[in-house]
Amino acid sequence: MNNRILANAIRFLSIDAVNKANSGHPGAPMGMADIATILWREFLKHNPKNPNWFNRDRFVLSNGHGSMLLYSLLHLSGYKLSIEDIKNFRQINSLTPGHPECDITDGVETTTGPLGQGLANAVGMAIAEKNLAGEYNKVGHELIDHHTYVFAGDGCLMEGVSHEACSLAGTLKLNKLIMFYDMNSISIDGNINGWFTEDVPGRFKSYGWNVIKNVNGHDFVNIRNAIKSAKHEKSKPTIICCKTVIGYGSPKYQGTNAAHGAPIGPDEADIVRKRLGWKNKPFIIPQEIYKSWDATVKGVKLEGHWDKKLEKYKKLYKKDYQELRRRIKNQVPSRVISSLDKCMLKNHKPMATRKSSQVVMTSFGQNMPELIGGSADLKGSNLSYYDDMSIFSPNNPAGKYIHYGVREFGMSAISNGIHLHGAMRPFASTFLIFSEYTKNAIRMSSLMKLPIIYIFTHDSIGLGEDGPTHQAVEQISSLRLVPDLDVWRPADTQETAAAWKHALLNQGRPSAFALTRQTLNELPKTKTQSTNMNKGGYIIYGKSNSPDGIILASGSEVSLAVKAAQELGDKKLDIRVVSMPCQELFDRQPASYKNKCIPKDFDNILAVEAAKGDSWYKYIGKKGSMITVETFGLSGTGNDVMKHFGFTVNNVKKEIKKLINKNR
């Protein structure tokens, strides 16, 4: 069947769904329908009957507002997405939300909408593919062998994250990454000539990409040849620059920003119908069009071929096969868990918790090949690697450590993509303050329920001389605000091991660690304390059931609090200290346990944390008090700065005594 007709099926599903919802973005689907038709029907290796087939090509719609393009493709190809679902576009609890969400709709590879990040996700997927191929493929047994295709528009390419991800993709020679750049010259504010005049092909050439210029995005032969050529590329990612018309087919809106983000309305839809020769009513797709689009038979066959390959592989490389299978199922090896359990009990010497994290990683890293990640150019500072961790590079595609360069946002969005690919457990690291450079990618990890591990070191004013630009103050509380993110601020190596264990066992939520630059003492723990450490918060000091006061603390402030409590104990003041390495995990405990640590209606509660204190109000109530950092930090030695802000044993003693007197 004529490709134009097949593409028009996408156009009209999109027009009609947006019209029905009275909300949405018809312009991109209308403009990119022709490209999508060629790619999906002639090249994309996928199986609508099994959206999770491991060796499928990945497809990312980075310009996620064009969601109806993707929903149309899924519906037409035979995925579990009915015409009723299409009619429910943008309605509450539908399978067709305003932007594509990968945990809602089968066949959606990643949640997109925040511009540029889909592109970075695709880079991550291509890294995962290259890494797995490097590790598991054998000569004649290319088990992992697929492409990652991504659609991106001008909006994506204006975003800084596109620079970070694409520059790195060039360095890493991700030749199986193919981007379609939708050059429609329009963004929301109008024709881009007032704000986006860069020579995009030249820019990608400078990144070391294979650049295919001047493709007419409405010419099927042109598109087909470009994809063929891109697939032949052996050492570079490819950008196919496709000139398209936004809102293609609508005399009133095409080529203008009016086509971007609003329904074209039923009258204009009728005009487009006439113009494009589409005789079908809204949401009616003739059977022959469905038949031409149907990819289920081909898909089952493709997966079947691969299954046979897999069978052969299984026989020859049983151990590799089993390991890959385990990884695809996201099973954490039991030997990793037992290493972590040991770390949680061992009596470690004093060290910075960033170092603790490295000790912990080293205890299990070699046993967990799915652990992959790196740092944004702070390897020696973040210490987020284990001994002998090899470097991922074009010459060593099986390497596990990624030198991300100074690209925090790119790193995190790439990590999301690596995990989305499957069989991978990515981590990402930088200074805690620079979590701000990548804030929305962390949120996207949470929204997509991806258990990314964020290792943030240099977690407070305690880092010292680098000063306020580098000292985290409000970042811990800020991370605690992200729904479904576990934020750990461990007090010693044992708590750091607990953080790692929970992070690895978490399958549906990311974790962020806030780790010190400065050395911390190991806190001795009873067996009960070691157990309760796994509850996010626990009594680290004090045995009485009716203490005079309670100090809540995390990370570097726990030993300070314990020392203050000990000294006050000598003076007959009974102070309990609760170490709270993870508020979110503590909050998920039964009320009975929480009450044992922090009795309801107890007044004399002092929170001590070298950070902005907002996240402690819920525990201390209006009668409690805090020693926190409510302003920006200061440049000076770590000790001087800590002292300046009141983080001394004497000040903690003074404040808890003051509090007890006040509430007396």
Token pair 């993110």 in the structure block, residue: 485
Tokens of residue 191, six digits? 């024709």
Q: Strand ranges (DSSP E) for 228-370? A: 238-243, 351-352
DSSP letter for 40, please: I
DSSP symbols for 328-360: HTTPPPHHHHHHHHHHHHS-PPPEEHHHHHHHH
92 binds a copy of itself (CB under 8 A): yes
Compare residues 188 and 221 and give the one whose CB is closer to a copy of itself. Answer: 188
Selected from 145, 219, 320, 640, the binder of a copy of itself by CB under 8 A is 640
The H-or-E segment that residue 484 falls in is none
Of the candidate spans 243-251, 332-340, 341-349, 631-639, the one that interacts with a copy of itself by CB under 8 A turns out to be 631-639
Selected from 31, 155, 249, 536, the binder of a copy of itself by CB under 8 A is 155
Strand partners, 149: 59, 178
192 binds a copy of itself (CB under 8 A): yes
| Nearest by Cα to 454 from 420, 492, 425 | 425
Interface of this chain with a copy of itself, residues 209 to 268, rule: CB under 8 A: none
Please tell me whether residue 152 adopts helix, strand or coil conformation: strand
Distance CA 381, CA 360 (A): 16
Please tell me whether residue 457 adopts helix, strand or coil conformation: strand
By CB under 8 A, how many residues form the interface with a copy of itself?
A: 113
Within 8 A by CB and 6+ apart from 20, the residues are 87, 89, 282
Compare residues 446 and 589 and give the one whose CB is closer to a copy of itself. Answer: 446
Of the candidates 109, 370, 408, 557, the residue annotated as catalytic is 408
Of the candidate spans 228-236, 414-422, 511-519, 628-636, the one that interacts with a copy of itself by CB under 8 A turns out to be 628-636
User: At closest approach, how far in Å is the CB of 524 from a copy of itself?
Assistant: 32
Tokens of residue 354, six digits? 């960033």
Selected from 4, 49, 87, 163, the binder of a copy of itself by CB under 8 A is 163
287 binds a copy of itself (CB under 8 A): no
Selected from 220, 437, 488, 647, the binder of a copy of itself by CB under 8 A is 437
Interface of this chain with a copy of itself, residues 353 to 382, rule: CB under 8 A: 375, 377-381
Pairing status of strand 351-352 against strand 519-520: antiparallel
Compare residues 276 and 444 and give the one whose CB is closer to a copy of itself. Answer: 444
Selected from 203, 213, 563, 654, the binder of a copy of itself by CB under 8 A is 203
Selected from 107, 114, 124, 369, the binder of a copy of itself by CB under 8 A is 114
**Catalytic residue at 408?**
yes
Of the candidate spans 40-48, 49-57, 158-166, 502-510, the one that interacts with a copy of itself by CB under 8 A turns out to be 158-166
DSSP letter for 438, please: G
Interface of this chain with a copy of itself, residues 28 to 57, rule: CB under 8 A: none
Selected from 99, 509, 525, 576, the binder of a copy of itself by CB under 8 A is 99
Tokens of residue 279, six digits? 């005789």
User: At closest approach, how far in Å is the CB of 417 from a copy of itself?
Assistant: 16
- Residue 138 burial (10 A CB sphere; 0-12, 13-18, 19+): exposed
Q: Give the CA count within 13 Å in the CB-facing half-sphere of 660.
A: 16
Tokens of residue 259, six digits? 């086509």
614 binds a copy of itself (CB under 8 A): yes
Q: Are 244 and 32 in contact (CB under 8 A)?
A: yes
Compare residues 21 and 223 and give the one whose CB is closer to a copy of itself. Answer: 21
Pairing status of strand 575-579 against strand 538-541: antiparallel
Selected from 621, 650, 658, 662, the binder of a copy of itself by CB under 8 A is 621
Selected from 42, 84, 198, 270, the binder of a copy of itself by CB under 8 A is 198
Active-site residues, by number, are: 408
